[in-house]
Amino acid sequence: MINVVSWAASYGNLDHRNLVEAGFTDKDVTACADLDGPELLQVFDPSDERKVPFAATRAAAVLDAAWTKAGLRSARNRLDGRGDRIRYPDTALVVGSSLALADEACEATENPDKRMGPYALSKLRGNALTAPLAIRFGLGGGSHCVSAASATGGAAMVHAASLIRAKQADRVAVVCLDEMRHNVITSGLGSTGASSLSKKSQPLSVDRNGMRPITAAVAMILETDESCQARGQGSMAQWVGGCVRHECHHLMVPIPSGDALIEASLSSLEQAGLTTGTIDWVSLHATGTRVWDDLEVRCAKRLFGSRLPHLSAFKRSFGHTMGAAGLLEAGLLCEGLASRRLPPWPCPTDPALELTKPLKIRSYATNAMMWSAGMGGDVAANIFSASA
């Protein structure tokens, strides 16, 4: 069994309790959270912090919070090789980002006359996020990068669980994030037509007009039963199945049939030993784009028939946190399973979607499925179950 031991999120100035409460009350916090406030992240030594991209500092801060919640050791390594060293060969690292280091690259090239320092490549190369985290936390089980656009969080979960299933690690730290500080990134997203110009678009609603990109970071710790028992550590929920598929269709738009998402869902159910009738809750990807929202609802009806599970659309509360979205939603699912709580059925919804609110709403869920999808064709399904 693969346990979800802990998770933590960095979303503006919202603390963990208020973030969870927003998700379970369908409260839109994109305006009230201070998303552009001052950054007070101090997780690296000052000399180390200058050697890494800002995204690595945010990633380290959120991983530090999840690591501490999991009851793991507080010792940390410096990045320069000095001092006492810790290393956990049984713990792997998976880092996901949809925009990779585009934000950092924009910052670095904004002033072409600025002299680049000796650690410039450490801020821009492919392992610019994984290397600082692996060194700082002593994650000796290997580091892995995932980049699947908006499907990144869901794909990272599948990858992390696969490492445990393959007995390559007893524990995996998963960190997903995106930085959108530079205006080239935000304006670029808007120019694609996928972003909402009004910033009021709500997924599944009649006036939805695109996604609302938001900077965020999320970390989660997955661990085997044996490792948890040896440490006397409990779990929030359990990951029981997951699958990633590719549509092989288009660089920007989803395949109209939705076949890949159905395949990923059925594979996840088979791994978990569950049927569609045993899924109590589905967390929709629901970005607020008309094409995807419509397709996803049709996939839900195709997979579950007329008796839909409880549905949620967390991007109504948090906007689209891009590469972090899937991991944020996974954390909220695990919170709901652990506390026997469900968020509200998304209301109001576009009448054209024909998502009629059930007369009898479930009070809690035992098995929950999460869908993730990204531009370029990657889709992922993950299933979580309440801990015994």
- Domain spans in the chain, listed from the N-terminal domain onward: 2-237, 238-386
Q: What is the pLDDT of residue 105?
A: 83
CATH of 2-237, one of 3.40.47.10, 3.50.50.60, 3.40.50.970, 3.90.1310.10: 3.40.47.10
Contact 37, 12 (CB under 8 A): yes
pLDDT in tens, 297-310: 999 999 999 889 99
pTM: 0.95
Q: How confident is the model at residue 31 (pLDDT cuts 50, 70, 90)?
A: confident
CA–CA gap between residue 120 and residue 43 (Å, rounded)? 20
Judge if 2-237 and 238-386 fold alike in CATH terms. Answer: yes
Q: Which two tokens stand for residue 373?
A: 């999808």
CA–CA gap between residue 5 and residue 240 (Å, rounded)? 14
The average pLDDT across 33-57 equals: 80
pLDDT in tens, 327-339: 999 999 999 999 9
Q: What torsion do the CA atoms of 104, 109, 114, 119 make, to the nearest 10 degrees?
A: 40
Bridge-based pairing state of the strands 237-246 and 281-283:
unpaired
The answer, yes or no, to whether the previous bond of 256 is cis (omega within 30 of 0) is: no
CA–CA gap between residue 107 and residue 292 (Å, rounded)? 32
Provide the residue type at 370 as one letter: M
Q: How confident is the model at residue 38 (pLDDT cuts 50, 70, 90)?
A: low
CATH of 238-386, one of 3.30.1330.10, 1.10.260.40, 3.40.50.1000, 3.40.47.10: 3.40.47.10
Q: Which two tokens stand for residue 339?
A: 């506390």
The average pLDDT across 71-88 equals: 95
* Nearest to 326, CA basis, from 178, 160, 153: 153
pLDDT in tens, 281-300: 999 999 999 999 999 999 99
180 pLDDT more than 90: no
Q: Which residue has the tokens 């101090």?
A: 42
- CB within 8 Å of 271: residues ≥ 6 apart: 240, 241, 242, 243, 383
Give, for 7, the enclosing helix (H) or strand (E).
strand 2-10
Mean predicted lDDT score pLDDT of the chain: 92
Provide the residue type at 23 as one letter: G
Q: Which two tokens stand for residue 143?
A: 């580091």
Angle at 95 between CA 91 and CA 100, to 5 degrees: 160
Q: How confident is the model at residue 37 (pLDDT cuts 50, 70, 90)?
A: low
Of 80-94, 103-117, 195-209, 337-351, give the lowest mean pLDDT range.
Answer: 103-117
